[in-house]
Each structure stands twice: as structure tokens, then as C-alpha cells.
Copies of this chain bind each other. A is one copy, B any other.
Amino acid sequence: MKIEKITNMKWLNIFNVSYKNKKGQDSNWTFASRKQNPVLGEELKPDAVVIVPIHKTPEGDKLVLIKEFRIPLGDYEYGFPAGLIENENNVDSAKRELFEETGLNLTKIIHVSPPCVSSAGLSDESVVYVICECEGTINKDNLEENEDITANSMNLKDLKNLYKSGSKLSAKCVPFLMTFIMNGKIEFNMIPWAKI
């Protein structure tokens, strides 16, 4: 396989790969990468962390979602707090991003997923899901200048209404919304993880 860099942008570039398909025919595949020089076949090094925050409140456990203006959509999207991993481990990144985007404090890690690929036909971007508990009061004190984000602590009824609302939703968030709605409760059963 031969990889060619098509663009020379700072944050995201397009690459074209020439390869022979399983029948030996010459083929091409175009993909986008946040890496300046991606190496095909290397181990996944997660680009970003996606935080699944269970908010411990006097009214019970809620799920924290953010409403963020997304330039590529030209619109707001509801999803989980998330961000690119800087020089830090996945858990520290989750603590930092959760605090920056919601003002909440991560108090307990429930599970950290293996790195997984956002959309492998489109890009080599990979993320880790960090399922955690958090406490505190939502605020906007720590948002970055370019971030237009409103965090919401949502109970099951809120999640159902959001799911039906027609608002733009994140594909990383929707499976968890389905799960909580189907199970009729916002809960992660932690016991099985020990058995995995």
C-alpha cells in the first residue's frame, strides 16, 4: 500500500492510498487524518477522550450531555463532553475535559474502553470512552474562547425528550441513550467488568 498526502493543513489532512484489492486490481481509498504522517497498520493511539458522565445528585443519577456549536454542522449538537488528548493519560484528559466543559469534578472511574475507531471508512481517528461518576454544579467558568458549550444534567425523561426532539445527536452518545431508555434507568452495572 502506498500512501500520498494530498493536503498540508494544520489540524486535518486528506490522504490517498493506492493498493491492490483482494483480486489484485489497482484500487484507491481516500481518508482524513489528524496525524501529519499517519502510518498504516500501527497501533491505535487515541486522538480523543469521550466522557460518559454519571452525575450524582440529590434527585438521583443523571447523565451529563453538552450542547455544543459544531462548525462542520453549522449547528448545535448534543453529545458527551469530549476533547483531544494532550500530553496526559486518558483519565487525566477525561478529568480535565469534563471540568473545562461542565465545571463538574470526576469522582470515580467506572470503566475506560479500549481505543476505538470513530468511522474507519472515513478516518483513522480513534477515541476512548471513559465512563465515570462526577459531582458538583454545572458552570461555564472554564470554557475555552472557541467553545460554545452548554452542559445539561439530564434525567431519563429529559433523555427521552431529547432523543425524540429532532436535535442533532452524536453517534457516540446515541447508543448509550438507547441503552438507558431501554433499561428504564440511568445506570451502569459495574460488577460484570470485574468478570471480563
Which positions in A face B, CB cutoff 8 Å?
1, 6-7, 9-17, 19, 21-23, 25, 27, 29-34, 38-42, 44, 48, 50, 68, 70-75, 77, 79, 111, 113-114, 116-127, 129, 131, 145-146, 148, 160, 163-164, 166, 168-176, 178-179, 181-184, 188-190, 192-193, 196
Partner of A163, one of B10, B79, B196: B196
Give the shortest distance, in Å, between A121 (CB) and chain B (any CB): 7
- Are A120 and B70 in contact, CB atoms less than 8 angstroms apart? yes
Contact A22–B145 (Cβ < 8 Å): yes
Copies of this subunit = 2
Smallest CB separation, A149 vs chain B (Å):
10
Judging by beta carbons under 8 Å apart, are A44 and B168 in contact?
Answer: yes
